[in-house]
Structure 1
Amino acid sequence: MTELVKTIIVTEDIRLKQLELSDANEMFTTIDRQRDYLGKWLPFVAFTIDVSDSEDYIRSVLAVPAEKGDFVFVIRYKGDFAGLIGFKNTDKLNRKAEIGYWLSEPCQKKGIITSSVTAVMRFAFEEMNINRVQIRCAVGNFPSKSIPQRLGFRFEGIERDGELLTGNRFTDIEVYSLLKNEFLSAGN
């Protein structure tokens, strides 16, 4: 995307900054130091073996024209790299998008993802004119699926063998959604 870098102020300690090539080193270092933790649920960890892999991912995000691309943000907690959050499979015609996220292990249980998802939903509904936001989580990934549950998303069902994890094993995926009118009526 070639437009200006977007920053979302979530709280005094949490900032979301649109992903840039300069984020590759911190992103790779975080992945590399937490392979076991992150790799349990994130298949890309096994394929991220060098900083150039992170650079290639970022280039692939940036290469998509703004009108067709997905916003991806670095999560900064107290100024430090904490993870990523963003949209994938955005369907502008049908005004729907999926939110994906991952967070460094030391940053867990601080409300960072819950607050960041709320901020990204507000961005989707107010600035992107999205009507439906979806979050998909592996059935056994309790920390991840607690986010949509906590934020009032509706559980829609199970996508059987919906994601191929590291080790060439499939996992079922829980699908959650929230509509713009539900978000607004909840006082957000």
Structure 2
Amino acid sequence: MFIHKIDDDLSLRLVEMRDAKRIFELTDQSRDYLKEWLPWLDFTLKPEDTEDFIKMGRTNFVESKSMNMVILYKGEIAGIAGFNEINNSNKTAKIGYWLGQEYQGSGIMTRVAKTLTEYAINTLGMNKVEIRVATENKKSRAIPERLGYTEEGTIRQAEWLYDHYVDHVIYGVLAEEWNKNSE
């Protein structure tokens, strides 16, 4: 079982089927909050939908295409983070994340994104890590900005959110930049 300790309160662990009930409960409790920026809430209506997400994620992990992890905060599942896409040919990884509403505002996601960036570059050997965020999602945009990612551009109407399109801003950091700034 993969588990990565970030600090005394925070760690990441590969998502397991036994997590489905808690992940679904957290999703359901934060549904209205999460729906502002995440497009999949209408497709996650019962625990079996979360189980399907976990099965798909496990298959993609075995195939080295993605890596989904639960965020454990003080021993409780607080959200999901990981690599939505791993491209070994181009040595790139795209970080994705969400956090239950009750866990917001404690710097959890910044610490998680920093750890994922370090892991992608120093363990997986990626040359570039990206984070894509809706342009108006200021809280989420602050994370790559705090970590020293470069704003690389905007993709217009990149995602359909229930009744409208949102643009995405792309943030990226290269391995050489990350390692230079980490010294």
Q: TM-score, normalised by structure 1?
A: 0.94
1:112 alignment partner, one of 102, 105, 108: 108
Is residue 181 of structure 1 aligned with residue 164 of structure 2? no
**Aligned residue for 1:87?**
83
Matching of residue 20 in structure 1 with residue 16 in structure 2:
yes
Matched residue of 2:40: which SS? helix
Answer whether contact 2:15 2:69 (CA < 8 A) is retained. yes
Alignment of 1:98-177 (within 5 A): 98-167=94-163, 169-177=164-172
Q: Of 59, 62, 66, which residue of structure 1 is paired with 2:58?
A: 62
Check 1:140–1:68 CA distance in 2 against 1; reply closer, same or farther (3 A cut): same
Mapped partners of 2:54, 2:132: distance in 1: 22
131-140 or 56-65, which deviates more: 56-65
Q: Aligned Cα RMSD in Å?
A: 1.1
Letter of the 1:164 partner, please give it. Answer: W
Amino acid at match of 1:44: W
Deviation per CA, 1:103-158, whole angstroms, max 9, x where unpaired? 11111111100001111111111111101000000011111010001100000111
Aligned residues: 183
Contact 2:65 2:87 in 1 (8 A): no
Preserved CA contact (<8 Å) 2:60 2:67: no
- Give structure 2 stretches of 5+ with no counterpart: none
The corresponding residue for 1:75 is 71
Q: Aligned with 2:172: secondary structure? A: strand
CA distance in 2, matches of 1:96, 1:51: 32
List gaps (5 residues or longer) in structure 1: none
Letter matched to residue 43 of structure 2: F
CA contact (8 A) 1:42 1:166 kept: no
